[in-house]
């Protein structure tokens, strides 16, 4: 029950993360229904076992656009939230308040992981669902009098399941990065700046002394992985291309970083101590 109370608090204190997908969804749906209604063809590909969407050739937004928009928005909301949540608590004074409450440090940080890796994807899922419904409704109205075929409904369900699969794997990929930010946020007031600077120095060191291998192995492939997974038709394949052993290793590192973040949370903020 404590976890749900903490997550509810995160939802109430971060209402803008819900409003952004809502506004984007409303504007996209309005654009979809005010765009030209000509050339309302529905193109698809199928084989004996699976049904695949090739494209919606419709004047307005497409299913592929809805998929990519919702996925990229999740990445944006994730980075924006996880890099600012602890510094914002210190700034508005709630940091000391929650430290005085009978809630464990780990539980407090778990609520932030839950919000960033489950609640935010759910917001973007609602956005994707609304855009897909608007595409389906527009197609149905454009072919008024014709019964919507089972294939088209299958497209809708297939796209929805595909997006669920993508955000599931993306949340797994982002867990180590979320844990890293929970640590860095407690030793600096500007975590995202520090992460970027540290990445640059790793890139510089790797380029000068290791022919870029360290940067390519540690950072470049991992930072680009979340984008590949969220926009790919085969997210699991992207992870296997990255390397399952590497991914499992990063998850263990992420768990270790989370434990360290919980330990830091129970101490005096290092950023206050050093004014970083």
Residue 245 pLDDT greater than 50, yes or no = yes
Q: Is 99 exposed, middle or buried (0-12, 13-18, 19+ CB in 10 A)?
A: middle
Residue 47 pLDDT greater than 70, yes or no = no
Band of pLDDT at residue 22, cut at 50, 70 and 90: very high
- Alpha carbons 185 and 187: distance in angstroms, whole number: 6
Identify which of 129, 153, 148 has the alpha carbon closest to the alpha carbon of residue 66.
Answer: 129
- Alpha carbons 181 and 234: distance in angstroms, whole number: 28
Dihedral angle over CA of 34, 62, 143, 146, nearest 10: -150
- Quick one: average pLDDT of 106-119? 93
Residue-wise pLDDT tens digits, 157-166: 888 899 999 9
Question: Which one is predicted more confidently, 155 or 271?
Answer: 155
Give the mean pLDDT of the chain. Answer: 77
- Quick one: average pLDDT of 69-91? 90
Cα 212 to Cα 64, 202, 218, 238, distances in angstroms: 35, 9, 10, 22
Query: What 3 state SS string does 77-120 have?
Result: HHHHHHCCHHHHHHHHCHHHHHHHCCCCHHHHHHHHHHHHHHHH
Q: Which of 88-92, 113-117, 212-216 has the lowest mean pLDDT?
A: 212-216
CB–CB of 203/219 below 8 Å? yes
Question: In the beta sheet, which residues pair with residue 53?
Answer: 44
- Quick one: average pLDDT of 134-145? 70
Backbone angles phi, psi at 54, to 5 degrees: -90, -50
Backbone angles phi, psi at 53, to 5 degrees: -85, 125
Residue-wise pLDDT tens digits, 212-235: 555 566 666 787 889 999 988 889
The pLDDT of residue 99 is 58
The pLDDT of residue 97 is 58
Identify which of 47, 158, 59, 71 has the alpha carbon closest to the alpha carbon of residue 123.
Answer: 71
Residue 169 pLDDT greater than 90, yes or no = yes
């Amino acid at each position: 029950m404590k976890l749900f109370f903490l997550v509810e608090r995160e939802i109430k204190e971060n209402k803008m993360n819900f409003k952004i997908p809502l506004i984007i969804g409303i504007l996209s749906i309005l654009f979809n229904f005010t765009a030209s209604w000509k050339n309302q063809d529905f193109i698809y590909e199928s084989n004996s076992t699976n049904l695949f969407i090739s494209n919606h050739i419709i004047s307005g937004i497409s299913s592929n656009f809805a998929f990519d928009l919702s996925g990229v928005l999740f990445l944006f909301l994730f980075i924006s939230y996880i890099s600012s949540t602890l510094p914002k608590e210190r700034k508005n004074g709630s940091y000391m308040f929650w430290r005085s409450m009978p809630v464990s440090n780990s539980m407090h940080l778990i609520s932030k992981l839950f919000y960033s890796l489950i609640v935010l994807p759910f917001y973007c899922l609602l956005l994707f669902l609304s855009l897909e419904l608007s595409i389906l409704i527009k197609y149905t109205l454009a072919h008024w009098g014709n019964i919507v075929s089972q294939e088209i409904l299958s497209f809708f369900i297939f796209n929805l399941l595909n997006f669920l699969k993508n955000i599931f794997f993306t949340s797994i990929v982002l867990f180590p990065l979320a844990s890293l930010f929970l640590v860095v946020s407690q030793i600096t007031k500007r975590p995202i700046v520090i992460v970027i600077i540290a990445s640059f120095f790793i890139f510089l060191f790797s380029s000068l002394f290791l022919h870029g291998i360290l940067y390519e192995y540690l950072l470049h492939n991992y930072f680009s992985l979340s984008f590949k997974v969220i926009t790919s038709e085969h997210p699991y394949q992207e992870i296997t291309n990255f390397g399952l052993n590497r991914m499992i290793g990063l998850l263990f590192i992420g768990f270790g970083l989370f434990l360290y973040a919980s330990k830091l949370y129970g101490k005096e903020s290092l950023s206050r101590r050093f004014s970083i």
